[in-house]
Amino acid sequence: MRTRFVAALATLTLGVGTALLSDGGGAAPAAAAPPPAPPVTAPAAPGTPATTYTNPVTEPFADTYADPAVVRGKDGWWYLYATSDPLVSGGPFGNMHVARSRDLASWDYVGTIFDEENRPEWAADASFFWAPDIRYVDGRYVMYYTVTDTAANPDPWDYTVGVATAPTPTGPWTDSGGPVLDPRPAPGGGYLNTIDPALFADRDGTQYLYFGGFNGGIWVTELDATGTRAVGTPTRVTVGDRYEGAFVVERDGWYYLMGSSANCCAGPVTGYSVYTGRSRSPLGPFVDHEGVGLNESRVGGTQVVVQNGNRWIGVGHHAVLTDASGQDWMLYHAIDKDDAWLDRPGGVNRRPTLLDRMDWIDGWPVVNAGAGPSEGPRTAPVAASDLRITSADPASGHGLRRVSGTLARGTDSAGDAGALARLVPTRRDAAVVRTAPAPRDVRVETDVRLPDDAGSFTATLGGSGRPAVSVELDAGARELVVAQGHRVRRAALPASTDLTSWHVLTVTAADGGVVARLSSSGLGDLDAEVRLEPRAALPRRAPVHLAAAGAEVQVDNLTVVAAHEPVTRRAAEPRAGAVTFAEDFSGALDPGWEWLHGPADVTVGDGALSWPLTGHDLVGEANDAPALLRDAPDGDYVLETTVTLPLGQDTVRNYQQAGLLVHAGDDDFLRLAPVSIWQTRQVEFGKELTADGRWWGGHVSGPVADTMHLRLFHTTDAATGEHRFRSATSRDGRTWRFGATWTLPADADPRVGVYAGGGASPATTAVFDEVLIRDLD
């Protein structure tokens, strides 16, 4: 039953006040005994949060910190996890790692997840533990991770997923005793990539585990009530040769599946990046912004973050968090193109963790409005409360004022929260409230627990002569309710929601609407969400009230801050200008063209360069593929071609391709082309270089069509003189998708042109309609 705001409430007022008071209806309840100390140093009193940060955020303690995962602990600290690697050059190997921060900007290392004492016994001695995923579920921390080799099979690399639980974010971790799902044999031998787990809890209470990689695709399976074992038949949600590193969030009724593509670990030529697709169901189908599916041979995906030409390449395998203002952020690893190796070339890749703002523009997530990974100081996330509230100890200090009922400072004896605020109704429990004003566009976030699974918790915005908006978490009715006067919106809680465990409640009043969300982890999962557009506007500076009715409510990690102002416009993309050179293949080739490793067996005429594919290639030691090249112009320019290459779908015809080439040498070049990669058809923007060896890698994009329009935008870095080449592709010549940026050294003198090759079977001919050079507009 929903209670009225004016009755049976123990109310906190945000502004000024005292720490432990009773209204005369009875003595204040005694604080519970403190819990055992977690296996880390006790938190220091929080200081002033950082206002800026600089990537990589893990630089103070680690040279590499890859595959990051994050959770906010109930003790108020943020915890950052990473895959198994040495942390520093020459350092010992660690079986997954954990660090922590108060403000998301300054991080301190804590330790490893597994050691010889708690290492899962069902994992083979030679197994690695990769890609942790962390959530808070029903009073405990749950970590999923990749096991690369089990003891049950004699064959190596029988990948699967394990799960461990702990009472605190730092452990002690107890493995479940077996895999979440069995290793999956591949049809041609070996095993499918059952790797990179990611949990998502839907608002009906169903727990889904996403997993998988390039060999087999990303899949999703339901989990049992314990969250430790898969049930039912998994569903494949991406094509088998494109994505890994899944992460799923729900927003505005859409489920967004984000995943990384291309090689994670090719040192200075790593083209890893993050894409997304969305669906109305957690089981898919997931499609990109043009409606192209992630599970198709001509695979789709909307770019979320990609290298932009600064020091960072190979940006991917990420996690998403939301700061106190409601702004989303992405944590992901990256490689410094000039410092790619941890110890030696060809060894462990140096992949520190980066943090950048993630915006939502036109319904799609994108990092820094599309500008890509950041370099240099940036505005830090909002991680502390305004109004003098001590977030991790809300009953202390002068941030909260008791108006009625009892406010007591307690200690979490059932978990790791430490100090907390106890709101306890008494026999008077009248609600008389007065607060310091909060911003009109405000976001309130708190961990809330109803230890008796009874009563209700209410957050109220507004008043002062205008109808207030209240958000109520009602244990009796098992509802989340938003109301203003007689206008009420409500959402039922899943049967699995245990209100005696901590949940994250957020209330955002901005842009004329109020949104309330209840979540277990606050990581894009939802137990319930309610939206209301008030008929009467909230005052510009209005009070915020928190109240308990019917039974004790416990509150922790409380923040009240101005709601973030969303970024709604993408960063400007480059534009192609006037044509300065055109080759239309209507007759003899322009005399500026020269053949490299040729001539090829081509036909020129009638507006086409017809080029039968052969098995020759430029990558590696062969260096025998023909290419048609000319001198590049000075300054900024755009290189463009239109090529028809019918590669079909679904069949394997590795690695037939045709497209643009930027050639500084047989082992130092860039190429952009549609290509057949196993059963997929993608666009690859690849790079080969020589630096302590020969290295090849690439960024992959798409989608493709039989006829593709390709562009490379060339600019020069004003500070370094480096050549920057940014890729763009189109299926119709009008709508362009921008991709990665690769660089060449300042002293490079590349020639530019077209090439074809990569495979002679089945017989295929690439047809180039034109090659253009344009000004940069």
Q: CA-to-CA distance for 718 and 77, rounded, in angstroms?
A: 41
Tokens 């049950």 belong to 152
Q: CA-to-CA distance for 269 and 613, rounded, in angstroms?
A: 26
> What are the Cα distances from residue 201, in Å, to 205, 218, 318, 360, 521?
6, 17, 18, 21, 9
Asked if 246 and 259 touch (Cβ cutoff 8 Å), the reply is yes
Q: Which of 102, 33, 82 is nearest to 384 (CA)?
A: 102
> What are the Cα distances from residue 655, in Å, to 76, 612, 622, 673?
50, 14, 15, 11
The residues pairing with 279 across neighbouring beta strands, listed in sequence order, are 255
φ/ψ bin of 162: left (φ > 0), alpha (ψ from -120 to 50), beta (otherwise): beta
User: In three state form, how does the secondary structure of 597-639 look?
Assistant: CCCCCCEEECCEEEEECCCCCCCCCCCCCCEEEEECCCCCEEE
Q: CA-to-CA distance for 547 and 543, rounded, in angstroms?
A: 13
Asked if 289 and 672 touch (Cβ cutoff 8 Å), the reply is no
Helix (H) or strand (E) holding 250: strand 243-251
Asked if 758 and 617 touch (Cβ cutoff 8 Å), the reply is yes
Tokens 């008043």 belong to 463
**DSSP string of 697-738, one letter each residue:** EEEEE----SEEEEEEEEEE-TTT--EEEEEEEESSSSS-EE
Tokens of 402: 């008791």
CB atoms within 10 A of CB 745: 13
Q: CA-to-CA distance for 651 and 656, rounded, in angstroms?
A: 12
Of 133, 196, 244, 474, the active-site residue reads 244
- For residue 578, what is the DSSP state? E
Q: CA-to-CA distance for 760 and 758, rounded, in angstroms?
A: 7
Q: Can 244 be counted among the known catalytic residues?
A: yes
SS3 369: helix
What's the start-to-end Cα distance of the chain, in Å? 64
Q: CA-to-CA distance for 772 and 642, rounded, in angstroms?
A: 9
Q: CA-to-CA distance for 72 and 557, rounded, in angstroms?
A: 10
Asked if 115 and 477 touch (Cβ cutoff 8 Å), the reply is no
- CA-based torsion, 615, 617, 622, 625: positive or negative: positive
Q: CA-to-CA distance for 686 and 669, rounded, in angstroms?
A: 8
Of 23, 63, 67, 323, the active-site residue reads 67
Q: Can 552 be counted among the known catalytic residues?
A: no
Q: CA-to-CA distance for 333 and 335, rounded, in angstroms?
A: 7
SS3 362: coil
SS3 666: coil
Q: Which of 674, 758, 606 is nearest to 298 (CA)?
A: 674
Residues designated as active site: 67, 244
